[in-house]
Amino acid sequence: MTWFNFTIDLPKESHYRLKKMPTHKIPESERYRGSIKWLQYVLARGFVSILQRLPVHLAYKMGRGTGWLCWKLMSKRRAVARQNLKIVNAWMATNARSDATPVASPAPNSSPSTIRHSLSLPLEAQVREVFQRAGANLFSGFTFNRISPEQAERHVKVKGLELLEVALSQGKGAIILLAHMGPWEALTQLPGFAARHGIEAPFGAMYRPLNNTYLDDWFKAEREGQGTRLFSRRDGFHKPVDFLRSGGMLGILADQKMRQGPKVPYFGVITPTSPVAGLFQRRSGAAVLAVSIETLDRAKWQISVQPVEWPDMLAPKDRETATQVCNAAIERAVARSPLDAFWLHKRF
């Protein structure tokens, strides 16, 4: 009772001192810890660990089923995907290239998993397929963290590794532009695929630290155990640039939505875009390549490496042109199979 009386009789200034500290002033090492974060970590790790041990075909099938269920239940996400696909379809209709020409129309008895993209498909069918592929790609992607490159090659074909070899032969490293497309976790196998073709180089990736210290530590340990060096904003600018200059391959997810950044076109919409890839290229002189991942059939994908022509006379501070070059490369990569891209968030 004494404690209760004491707390309600505190002076106003004492109450002010006891107010909760603003979240942004709490160190990240403390902000993303605690019992709730630990429970999230345990549940997420358990779920992912189960998926990692499934056969790829089973994970793919479960993912498509989960994607279909989400499509049925998540009306707001359907609306988001529908709006994104309207923009992409409009761009595809006017910017089709020889290397990104959509399939004219699916065969009458085709399985949905064999359809890459078709402008003749009804929009709602495209929305449903995006959900199902997102589920299949997500679930299947985790399995690639546990299998060998030899096993992975049963499910993934790689085209264009010779371009990577040429890029690395220049001795300045290679920047690999990636999109949230296909089972992007399969890209952890890229160094193994390259090594099997005589291409030896360290592999690194830019990533956004997770808002859960326990999950983040586990994620980094998993990736680095597979030979992937991770860089984030915490590492500053010089570490990833030095990694490139030493001859490394650096993967950058270049299609992330940003609040700030150079405003350049992406599928015909002016949108803030991260300038990081262009900035790293100008400082390192690294070659730039774009990678797409497209579904070929059930639990079968193709990774395609494509060159990016970089302007020779680009001014050191011309962030907009550099960012626009990167966006155009990502557009071409995604246009190979737009339904494999992750359109379930507000991208534009």
The rounded Cα 311 to chain-centroid distance in angstroms is: 25
Residue-wise DSSP of 209-253:
PPS-HHHHHHHHHHHHHTTEEEE-GGGTTHHHHHHHHTT-EEEEE
Q: Supply φ then ψ for residue 270, to 5 degrees.
A: -70, 120
Greater pLDDT, 38 or 24: 38
**Any idea what DSSP says for residue 305?**
E
CATH topology of domain 28-348: Glycerol-3-phosphate (1)-acyltransferase (3.40.1130)
The rounded Cα 236 to chain-centroid distance in angstroms is: 20
pLDDT (0 to 100) of residue 312: 77
Model confidence band, residue 331 (pLDDT cutoffs 50, 70, 90)? very high
Mean pLDDT of 291-299: 94
Mean pLDDT of 258-272: 91
pLDDT (0 to 100) of residue 26: 62
Does the pLDDT value for residue 5 go beyond 50? no
Give pTM, 2 decimals: 0.82
Model confidence band, residue 184 (pLDDT cutoffs 50, 70, 90)? confident
Two tokens, residue 241: 């640039």
Residue-wise DSSP of 7-22:
HHT--HHHHHHHSPPP
Does the pLDDT value for residue 161 go beyond 60? yes
Q: How far apart are CA 244 and CA 199, in angstroms?
A: 16
Which of 88, 77, 129 is closest to 333 using CA atoms? 88
Candidate ranges 13-22, 74-83, 221-230, 255-264; pick with highest mean pLDDT: 74-83
User: 23-37, 100-114, 209-223: which range is least confident on average?
Assistant: 100-114
Q: What SS3 state is found at 227?
A: coil
Decide: 302 and 257 in contact? Cβ < 8 Å: no
pLDDT (0 to 100) of residue 264: 93
- Count CA within 13 A, CB hemisphere, residue 21: 7
Two tokens, residue 279: 């900035």
Model confidence band, residue 16 (pLDDT cutoffs 50, 70, 90)? very low
Sequence-separated (6 or more) residues with CB below 8 Å from residue 200: 194
Q: Percentage of the chain with pLDDT > 90?
A: 58
pLDDT (0 to 100) of residue 210: 87
Candidate ranges 65-74, 164-173, 276-285; pick with highest mean pLDDT: 65-74
Greater pLDDT, 92 or 21: 92
Q: How far apart are CA 261 and CA 320, in angstroms?
A: 9
**Any idea what DSSP says for residue 101?**
P
Q: How far apart are CA 290 and CA 328, in angstroms?
A: 10
